[in-house]
A and B are shown apart, each in its own frame.
Chain A
Amino acid sequence: MGVVTMTESLMHPEFGRPWTIDDLARLPDDDGMRYEIVDGSLLVSPHANVYHFGVAGLLARLLDRQAPDQFLVAQDGSVQVKNRTSYFLPDVMAVRRDAIQRGRDCFDPADVPLVIEVLSPSNRGNDLIIKRHYYAAGGIPQYWIVDPEKRTLTVLTLEGDSYQDRAVVEAGQVWRSDEPFPLTIDPADVL
């Protein structure tokens, strides 16, 4: 691939128009950046470090082992909300397997019963403010926030159009739920 210039990549093709998922194809995928879209603005964040990646990986494995056939729990997925002008890369997400067959460029919120973010010490606002708002706006029923510093798992569930704190699970405690499928998790197993 040729050199992508800053000017090409950060200038929207149509002046003043919002970014959409279709514009992401113009951005380089190997520059160590995470590109997301927040209501038409491009959000560029550094990639997660090794520890953050590991926590997310362990979470995905632990949950996928407990998932019934109709679900998959994995890293590195993407979900759009609101007409392709908001697009996020959750650290971990549970998805319906039948959505995989449709082969779209990202998941719709209706196919995502659970998203999980692992907080980075450097950027908590993205998960605590932005994603808390937009995952709820997309109607994703559950949002978990794992805090490596506090060693907690916060479980948020959708009430109307916003999330309510359902539980703050500390390392050494076990969270049991029947949603989105019967599962148990102790934050100590991933942190």
Chain B
Amino acid sequence: MGVVTMTESLMPPTSGWTVDDLYRLPDTGVRYELFDGSLLVSPAPIVRHARAVNRLRDLLARQAPADIQLAQDVGVTVHGGRTYFIPDICVLPAAAFDKDADNLDQDDVLLAIEVLSPSNPGNDLVLKRHYYAAGGIPQYWIVDPDKRTLTVLTLDGDTYKERAVVEPGQAWRSDEPFPLAIDPAHVL
């Protein structure tokens, strides 16, 4: 391929990026997300992060009923195309996969899960906590590989409240979004 100049490829409209602009960006192993029309470029996750994501997804998949599906690294728009995040794991009604769309939207997601990266925990703890709540996603889980904890946040009005910080050796049991039991020791 030829050289793509910054001017050609990066310039968004002055009102900012939308999800339709992302296909023009190069696939260099980084993660592209959007909030309010700004582009956020994050480093690729490290191996330990991927292991935690895989284990958690497997644990949830074994317990999920037939009408629930799990998605890994699928993009979710929040109230239009100017905010777009890629949660590590999404829990969805199976019907959400029937849509003929490039990405999910906030109403499809029953639970979003992020595993913190040591290099940049702030995006999960600050930015996504805000926008997932703004999108009305009922539950947000944050897995912290350093502290070895699972933090369960549930929507209360338009912000998340901390419902539990689950330590390894404990099990988080809930009926939402489906009957499940998760011990962080099995993930981290």
Query: Would you call B25 an interface residue if the criterion is a C-beta within 8 Å of the partner chain's C-beta atoms?
Result: yes
- The count of chain A contact residues (Cβ–Cβ below 8 Å) is 40
CB contact between B131 and one of A46, A49, A125 (< 8 Å): that residue: A125
Size category of the B interface is 35 or more
* A 7-40 to B, binary, CB cutoff 8 A, 1 in contact else 0: 1011110011111000000001001110000111
CB-CB under 8 A for A122 and B36, given A10-B30, A85-B120? yes
Query: Would you call A123 an interface residue if the criterion is a C-beta within 8 Å of the partner chain's C-beta atoms?
Result: yes
B119 and chain A: residue at smallest CB distance: A18
User: Which residues of A38-55 have CB atoms within 8 Å of chain B's CB atoms?
Assistant: 38-47, 49
CB contact between B43 and one of A17, A86, A123 (< 8 Å): that residue: A17
B166 to chain A, nearest CB (A): 24
Question: Are A31 and B6 in contact, with the CB atoms below 8 A?
Answer: yes
Query: Would you call B65 an interface residue if the criterion is a C-beta within 8 Å of the partner chain's C-beta atoms?
Result: no
Chain A residues with CB under 8 Å of B36's CB are 122-126
Question: Are B126 and A41 in contact, with the CB atoms below 8 A?
Answer: no
User: Residues of A with Cβ closer than 8 Å to B?
Assistant: 3-7, 9-12, 15-19, 28, 31-33, 38-47, 49, 85-86, 122-126, 129-130, 133-134
The 30 sampled A-B contact pairs (Cβ below 8 Å) are A3-B5, A4-B6, A5-B5, A5-B6, A6-B5, A6-B26, A10-B25, A16-B45, A17-B43, A19-B43, A33-B11, A38-B127, A39-B121, A40-B120, A41-B41, A41-B43, A42-B40, A43-B39, A45-B37, A46-B13, A46-B15, A46-B16, A123-B16, A123-B37, A125-B127, A126-B36, A126-B38, A129-B130, A133-B122, A134-B122
